[in-house]
Amino acid sequence: MNIAVFLCGQVRCLEKSYKTILNTFQNHNVDYYFHFWKEAPRKESQFSESFVLDVFKPKNYVFEKQIDFTNQARNLKSRAFAHPRESSTYKVCSQYYSLSRSKDIIEDPNQYDYIAKLRTDMYFNQSIDYLLEEITDDQLLIAHHGVIDFLLGDIAFFTTPKTFANFFNLYEFLINEKYWQKKLQRMTSHYVLEAFVNYYNIDFKHVPFYFTLLRPPMEGNNCTQIMKSYKNHLKKANASTERTMQNMFRYNNPNRVKEFNLM
């Protein structure tokens, strides 16, 4: 398969996650593209441009100076029932502007069978090949939020060039009032993504929970965020023992996951 992988946003945890990203697509003809902000606002975001270029050998890319989205963030606060901190809406603007830049960066999207959008602070638990083969031309395969079942995750999605073209308009959708038919519960990337998918009537299905995880598990926090996600799901399944969670995480057994309705 011919696949374009577009990475965007802030560079986080890449030195720990890049191998799983490369391994996931190693059996395909892959071109890497990215739009990254130059600034590293947090310690976990420190990176070297030369390292990123050496790892992915991108076909096209942009390192851009961080844009100031303060005014846009202030305007967006009024479009949600629960008004978030301005820093939260700022991040939504920054992330989805970065994704929208794919329009200028990906060379001839129609040459690819599939396009993947990824954040750098996620990693793959196992192969997604058979999932890709099930995607129809008008469908989006999207990662779970991880903690809240009904939300769409922003860490990764996969689709065909035809459907991906909609995402060229994501930032315009975000900041332009004409697209907003109702207020969101919260102004977060997940709720915005849901509104966007509904507006464009894009069919989607979730990547099974155990395929992708947020934040590489090699970090020193003992997978705190990942374990919280499992705990939330397992609690619903009345099986929230620490031992069960550790076994599921260690062995990544799909049958075990199905047993607890995590798909």
| Average pLDDT estimate for 86-91 | 83
pLDDT single digits (tens) 178-209: 888 788 888 888 889 988 998 988 988 877 66
Kindly tell me the burial class for residue 56, based on how many C-beta atoms sit within 10 Å of its own C-beta (0-12, 13-18, 19 or more): buried
Give 106's contacts (C-beta < 8 A, 6+ positions apart). 4, 6, 33, 60, 115
Considering the domain architecture, whether residues 92 and 119 belong to the same structural domain is answered as yes
Considering the domain architecture, whether residues 131 and 245 belong to the same structural domain is answered as no
In this structure, are strands 114-118 and 203-206 parallel, antiparallel, or unpaired? unpaired
Q: Which residues pair with 61 in a beta bridge?
A: 34
Kindly tell me the burial class for residue 251, based on how many C-beta atoms sit within 10 Å of its own C-beta (0-12, 13-18, 19 or more): exposed
pTM of the model: 0.80
Q: 10 Å Cβ neighbour count for 63?
A: 13
Helix, coil or strand: residue 10: coil
Percent residues over pLDDT 90 in the chain? 32
Give the span between the Cα atoms of 187 and 169, in whole angstroms: 18
Considering the domain architecture, whether residues 172 and 48 belong to the same structural domain is answered as yes
| Average pLDDT estimate for 44-49 | 68
Res 239 pLDDT > 70: no
Helix, coil or strand: residue 146: coil
Res 218 pLDDT > 60: no
Structure tokens at 108: 């001839």
Among 75-89, 112-126, 167-181, the minimum mean pLDDT is found in 75-89
CB 192 within 8 A of CB 92: yes
What average pLDDT is seen over the chain?
77
| Total tally of structural domains belonging to the chain | 2
Considering the domain architecture, whether residues 106 and 132 belong to the same structural domain is answered as yes
For residue 167, the enclosing domain spans 2-212
Considering the domain architecture, whether residues 164 and 63 belong to the same structural domain is answered as yes
Helix boundaries (H) for the chain: 14-24, 49-56, 70-76, 86-100, 102-105, 129-132, 161-164, 170-175, 189-199, 224-236, 242-251, 254-259
Considering the domain architecture, whether residues 206 and 245 belong to the same structural domain is answered as no
Q: How confident is the model at residue 248 (pLDDT cuts 50, 70, 90)?
A: very low
Considering the domain architecture, whether residues 136 and 68 belong to the same structural domain is answered as yes
Considering the domain architecture, whether residues 138 and 248 belong to the same structural domain is answered as no
The CATH number covering residue 44 comes to 3.90.550
| Average pLDDT estimate for 39-52 | 70
Considering the domain architecture, whether residues 158 and 50 belong to the same structural domain is answered as yes
Structure tokens at 249: 């995480």
| Average pLDDT estimate for 223-245 | 46
DSSP per-residue string spanning 42-73 = SGGG---HHHHHHHH--SEEEEEPPP--HHHH
Considering the domain architecture, whether residues 8 and 41 belong to the same structural domain is answered as yes
User: Of 195, 212, 229, which residue is a domain's last?
Assistant: 212
User: Of 177, 196, 212, which residue is a domain's last?
Assistant: 212
Please tell me which residue, 145 or 125, carries the higher pLDDT value: 125
User: Of 176, 195, 212, which residue is a domain's last?
Assistant: 212
Helix, coil or strand: residue 181: coil
Q: How confident is the model at residue 156 (pLDDT cuts 50, 70, 90)?
A: confident
In sign, the C-alpha dihedral spanning 3, 136, 154, 39 is positive
Considering the domain architecture, whether residues 154 and 250 belong to the same structural domain is answered as no
Considering the domain architecture, whether residues 225 and 174 belong to the same structural domain is answered as no
